[in-house]
Amino acid sequence: MTVLIDWGNSTVRLRLAEHEGRAVIVALGPADAGTDDLPAAIALPPAEVLVAGGRLPQGQRHVGLGTSAELRYQEHRTESDGATSSLVVVQATAAGVELTSRFTVFGELPVIRVLQTVANRGAQPFVLEHLSSLSLNGFARFRDPAWRDDLRLRIPHNTLFAEFNWTEHTLPSLGIVDVGFTEEGVHSSKSRVSVSSIGTQSTTEYLPMGALEDRGRDLAWAWQVEANGSWQWEVADHLAAVYLSAGGPNDQEHHWHRRLEPGESFTAVPLAIATTRGRLEDALVPLTEYRRLIRRPNADDIDLPIVFNDFMNALMADPTEEKLLPVIASAAAAGSEYFCVDAGWYSDEQSWWNTVGAWTEASDRFPNGFVRVFDAIRAAGMVPGLWLEPEVVGVESPLAEQLPGDAFFRRHGARIDSQGRHQLDFRSAAVRERMDEVVDRLIADYGLGYLKFDYNINGGIGSDVDSDSAGDALLEHHRAFLDWIRGLFRRHPDLVIENCSSGGARIDYASLAEFSILSTSDQVDHLKYPTIAAGAPSGVTPEQAAVWVYPQPEFGTEELRLSIVNGLLARPQLSGGMWKLDEDQLGTVATAMEVYRGYRRRIPHSSPVWPIGLPGWYDDWIAQGLVDEEGLLLAVWRRGGADSVQLPLAPWAAGFGRAEVLFPTDVPTGLEFEAESGLLTVTLDAAPAARLIRVF
Q: Is 685 helix (H, G, I), strand (E, B) or coil?
A: coil
Q: Is 83 exposed, middle or buried (0-12, 13-18, 19+ CB in 10 A)?
A: exposed
CB atoms within 10 A of CB 531: 25
Strands (E), 405-449: 410-411, 414-415, 417-418, 421-423
Report the Cα 138 to chain-centroid distance in Å.
Answer: 27
Q: Is 174 exposed, middle or buried (0-12, 13-18, 19+ CB in 10 A)?
A: middle
Contact 561, 581 (CB under 8 A): no
Please provide the distance, in angstroms rounded to a whole number, between the alpha carbons at the two ends of the chain: 52
pLDDT at 190: 67
Q: Is 254 helix (H, G, I), strand (E, B) or coil?
A: helix
Q: CA–CA separation, 605 vs 625, rounded Å?
A: 13
Q: CA–CA separation, 479 vs 659, rounded Å?
A: 47
Q: CA–CA separation, 368 vs 366, rounded Å?
A: 6
Cα three-residue angle 284-287-291, rounded to 5 degrees: 135
Sheet bearing 192-197, strands edge to edge: 134-141, 241-247, 231-237, 192-197
- Chain length of the chain: 696
Task: Please name which of 681, 671, 615 lies closest in space to residue 649, comparing C-alpha atoms.
Answer: 681
Contacts of 587 (CB under 8 A, 6+ apart): none
- Partnered with residue 450 across adjacent β-strands are 385, 496
Give the dihedral sign, CA 220/229/245/103. negative
Q: Which domains does the chain have, with CATH numbers?
A: 2-294 (2.70.98.60), 300-605 (3.20.20.70), 608-695 (2.60.40)
Q: Is 141 helix (H, G, I), strand (E, B) or coil?
A: strand
Q: CA–CA separation, 594 vs 575, rounded Å?
A: 17
Contacts of 537 (CB under 8 A, 6+ apart): 284, 288, 545, 570, 608, 624, 626
pLDDT at 189: 61
- In this structure, are strands 12-19 and 22-30 parallel, antiparallel, or unpaired? antiparallel
User: DSSP character for 314?
Assistant: I
Q: Is 611 helix (H, G, I), strand (E, B) or coil?
A: coil
Q: CA–CA separation, 420 vs 57, rounded Å?
A: 41
Q: CA–CA separation, 239 vs 184, rounded Å?
A: 6
Report the Cα 537 to chain-centroid distance in Å.
Answer: 9
Mean pLDDT, 10 residues at a time, the chain of 696 residues: 92 97 97 88 97 86 95 98 96 98 98 99 98 97 96 97 98 93 74 95 98 98 98 96 97 97 98 98 98 98 98 98 98 98 94 95 96 98 98 96 97 95 98 98 98 97 97 98 98 98 97 98 98 98 98 98 98 98 98 98 98 98 98 98 98 94 98 97 98 98
Question: Which secondary-structure segment (H or E) carries 19?
Answer: strand 12-19
Contact 636, 623 (CB under 8 A): yes
Q: CA–CA separation, 288 vs 541, rounded Å?
A: 6
Contacts of 375 (CB under 8 A, 6+ apart): none
Cα three-residue angle 264-270-274, rounded to 5 degrees: 150
- In this structure, are strands 383-388 and 338-341 parallel, antiparallel, or unpaired? parallel
Cα three-residue angle 546-551-556, rounded to 5 degrees: 140
pLDDT at 182: 85
Contacts of 439 (CB under 8 A, 6+ apart): 388, 390, 451, 488
How many angstroms separate the Cα of 587 from the Cα of each of 302, 332, 473, 581, 686? 26, 12, 52, 9, 22
Task: Please name which of 369, 380, 307 lies closest in space to residue 341, comparing C-alpha atoms.
Answer: 307
User: DSSP character for 154?
Assistant: E
Q: CA–CA separation, 99 vs 119, rounded Å?
A: 7
Task: Please name which of 146, 269, 255, 263 lies closest in space to residue 198, comparing C-alpha atoms.
Answer: 255
Question: Which secondary-structure segment (H or E) carries 106?
Answer: strand 97-106
Q: CA–CA separation, 631 vs 694, rounded Å?
A: 7
- In this structure, are strands 571-574 and 545-549 parallel, antiparallel, or unpaired? parallel
Q: What is the CA radius of gyration of the chain?
A: 26
Contact 695, 634 (CB under 8 A): yes
pLDDT at 187: 62
